[in-house]
Every structure is written in C-alpha cells, then in structure tokens.
Structure 1
Amino acid sequence: MPMIPQARKLPSQARSRHAVAAILEAAARILERDGYAGLTTNKAAELAGVGIGSLYQYFPNKQALVAALHRRHGEETLAAVREALRLSAGLPWPAQLEQLVSACLRLHLAAPGLHRVLEREWPQFDAPPADNPLDAALLDCVAEWLAGGGLPVERAPRLLRMADSLIHGLALDGAPDEAELTRCVAAALTAYLALPWQGPEIST
C-alpha cells in the first residue's frame, strides 16, 4: 500500500480552519463534477476563493486533498451514525438499523461522483481500519448499539464490512432509488443479525 499523502499542517485558528474547510469543499465539488482528472490545486484554490499559496500551506498536492476528503468522509459517517442512533432510540432494532442504513446512503447519494473517486479510483488514500481512529470509533459505536439491543457484539466488524460493501456497491452506479436501496441493504443486514448465534466469527 502506498504512503497516504498528508497535509502539511493542521489549521489552528478559526480563520485558517474556515479556509481549509473551503478548500476541501471546493475540491469535493470539482471531483463530483469533473472527476479526479479534472482536479488541480489551482482550480481548488480559485473555487475556494483563496490564493494558491494559502492552499499550499496545508496541502502539497491534489493527492493530499483526496486523502483529506477521505478523512472528512469518515468524520461525516461517524456523525451520521451517531445522529441516526440518537433519533431512532427506543425503536426496535430492525427499525434502528434501517435508519442507520438510510443515513449512510444519503451521504453517498448526495455526491456519488465524489465517492466514486474516493472509493473506486483512490481508495488507497484512505487509512486502513487498523490504523484509523475514525473506523475504531465507528466500530465502538456499532458494537455498543448491538450490545444495547441484545445482539452479538462479535458481529460488529463483519456487519460494518457488509454495510460498506453493499452501500458502495449499490449506491454509486446509475441513478438509484434511495428508498429501495435502503430496504435492500437493511434487509440483508437484518437477515445477517437474525442468524442464530453460534460463537465467535472469523475476523474480517
């Protein structure tokens, strides 16, 4: 696996954080519209309304922008899962699972072009789960939800792997129907969780 491109530094003040957020949003919009080939640091700086020198303070090249967008997507996914669990608290676990799937699908369907770049063209710029604190936090969140519903916590890693594969495999092609995809993915994950528990599963 190639080394993941890194930002030069992290913004420390509100103004610099705003500039970095604008740069990342501009890069995301360009990737959504024009794909990876259409992204340049000059285009991102221009669309963000910052000088190219300001961009280079934080991102040495466009690969570092893509890596940063991977991290931003991880943050958004974790926030979406936590919010879905908060809003669905008290519902039966299959209904909660459907809310989780719906929240994650909306993230991808809102910008499928961006996520095709992140997940299919340059997935190697995303830190592997073993080294990614966002993935660890997401796993802990899902494991806590399973435990609260009396479901086998040991299934959390495979549940996440299945959800990731299904959502990326189904949401990024064509013009899918969100409601139908939600039912499809939620049904598959519900069936997996409803299987009789027979002890530890193989880690994936």
Structure 2
Amino acid sequence: MPMIPQARKQPGQARSRHVVAAILEAAARILERDGYAGLTTNKAAELAGVSIGSLYQYFPNKQALVAALHSRHGEETLATAREALRLSDGLPWQAQLECLVSACLRLHLAAPGLHRVLEREWPQFDAPPEDNPLDAALQDCVAEWLAGGGLPAERAPRLLRMADSLIHGLALEDAPDEAELTRCVAAALAAYLTLPRQGPEIST
C-alpha cells in the first residue's frame, strides 16, 4: 500500500482549526465540481480565503488534502451513524437499520462527485481499517447496537464492509433513487444479520 500523505501539522488553536476546516471545505467543493484534476493548492487557498502560505503550513500538496478529506469523511460517517442510532432508539432493529442506511446514503448523495474521487480514484489515501481509529470506533458503535438488539455483534465488521461496498457502489450511480436504495441496502444487510449461524463466525 502506498504511503498516505500526511498533514504537516495539526491545528492547535480555534483559529487554526477554523483555517484548516475552511481549506478542507474548499478542497471538497473543488473536487465535487471539477474532480481531482481540477484541484490545486492555489485554488483551494483562494476559495478558502487564505494565503497559499497558510495552506502550506498544514498541507504540503493536494494529495495531503485528499488524505485529510478521507479522515474528515470517517469522522462524518461515525457521527452520522451515532446520531441515526440515537434518533431511532426504541424502534425495531429493522427500522433502526433503515434509518442508519438512509442517513449514510444522504451523506454520500450530498456530494457524489467528492465521494467518487475519494472512493474510486484515490481510495489508497485512506488508512486501512486495522490502522484507523475512526473505523474501530464505528465498528464498536455498530457492535454495541447489534448486541443491544439481540443480534450477532461479531458480524459488525463484515456488516460494515458490506454496507461500505453497497453504499459506495450504488450511491455513486447517476441520479439514484434514495428511497429505493435505502430499502435495497437495508434488506441486504438485514438478510445477512438473520442468517443462521453455521460454525464459527468470521469477523475479519
């Protein structure tokens, strides 16, 4: 696996965090509109309203911007999953699963061009699950939810891989139907969760 480009430093103060957030949002908007070829550090700095020197304090090149956007996406996915499960608490697990799938689909459908770049053109700039604390936190979140509903918590890793493949594969189609995709993905995941156990579960 190629080395993942790293930010030069992490923002410490509130103002620095605001600058980095503005730079990443600008880069995301450019990727959504123009694709990877259209992204340059100069364009990102200009759209963010910061100097190129300020951008280079944190990001040495546009590859580092893409890697940082992968991390931001991981944070957004984790927050989205937690919120969907919180809002659907008390519902039957099938309804909770639909809420979870719907929320994650909306996250991707809001910026399909950006996610095409992240997931299809430059997936290698995302840390592998075994080295990604955000992926570990998401897996723990889903495993806890499964256990609470009397479902096999050990299936969380494969469930997430299935969801990732289905959502990224289907949500990035042209003009997808959100309601139909939600039902399709949720039904596939529910079918896996209700498969009878046959021997030891494989979770990795």
Please give the secondary structure, in 2, of the residue aligned with 1:2.
coil
Is the contact between residue 35 and residue 114 of structure 1 (CA under 8 Å) also seen in structure 2?
yes
Is the contact between residue 4 and residue 67 of structure 2 (CA under 8 Å) also seen in structure 1?
yes
What displacement does 1:195 show?
1.2
- 2:29 aligns with 29
Is the contact between residue 146 and residue 153 of structure 2 (CA under 8 Å) also seen in structure 1?
yes
Q: 2-side partners of 1:49 and 1:201: how far apart?
A: 51
Is the contact between residue 152 and residue 197 of structure 1 (CA under 8 Å) also seen in structure 2?
no
Is the contact between residue 45 and residue 51 of structure 1 (CA under 8 Å) also seen in structure 2?
yes
Count of residue pairs brought into register by the alignment: 204
Q: 2-side partners of 1:95 and 1:76: how far apart?
A: 22
Q: Deviations over 1:50-79 (max 9, x none)?
A: 000000000000000000000000000000
Q: 2-side partners of 1:56 and 1:132: how far apart?
A: 25
Please give the secondary structure, in 2, of the residue aligned with 1:198.
coil
Is the contact between residue 156 and residue 203 of structure 2 (CA under 8 Å) also seen in structure 1?
no
What displacement does 1:198 show?
2.9
Q: 2-side partners of 1:142 and 1:71: how far apart?
A: 19
Q: 2-side partners of 1:131 and 1:107: how far apart?
A: 23
Q: 2-side partners of 1:199 and 1:39: how far apart?
A: 49
* RMSD of equivalent CA atoms: 0.7
Give the alignment's TM-score, normalised by structure 1. Answer: 0.99
Please give the secondary structure, in 1, of the residue aligned with 2:60.
coil
Is the contact between residue 154 and residue 200 of structure 1 (CA under 8 Å) also seen in structure 2?
no
Q: 1-side partners of 2:162 and 2:62: how far apart?
A: 30
Q: 2-side partners of 1:200 and 1:120: how far apart?
A: 33
Q: Deviations over 1:152-182 (max 9, x none)?
A: 1111111000000000000001010111100
What displacement does 1:16 show?
0.8
- 1:152 aligns with 152
What displacement does 1:146 show?
0.5
Shift in alpha-carbon separation, 1:199–1:156, aligned structure 2, 3 A: farther
Give the alignment's TM-score, normalised by structure 2. Answer: 0.99
What displacement does 1:197 show?
2.2
What displacement does 1:196 show?
1.3
Is the contact between residue 81 and residue 103 of structure 1 (CA under 8 Å) also seen in structure 2?
yes
Please give the secondary structure, in 1, of the residue aligned with 2:174.
coil
Q: 1-side partners of 2:19 and 2:95: how far apart?
A: 39
The sequence identity of aligned pairs, in percent, is 91
Runs of 4+ in 1 over 6 A off after TM superposition: none
Q: 1-side partners of 2:38 and 2:78: how far apart?
A: 29
What displacement does 1:203 show?
3.4
Asked if residue 39 in structure 1 is aligned to residue 43 in structure 2, the reply is no
Q: 2-side partners of 1:95 and 1:202: how far apart?
A: 26
Q: 2-side partners of 1:197 and 1:71: how far apart?
A: 34
Q: 2-side partners of 1:57 and 1:8: how far apart?
A: 7
Q: 1-side partners of 2:202 and 2:15: how far apart?
A: 47
Is the contact between residue 167 and residue 185 of structure 1 (CA under 8 Å) also seen in structure 2?
yes
Is the contact between residue 4 and residue 124 of structure 2 (CA under 8 Å) also seen in structure 1?
yes
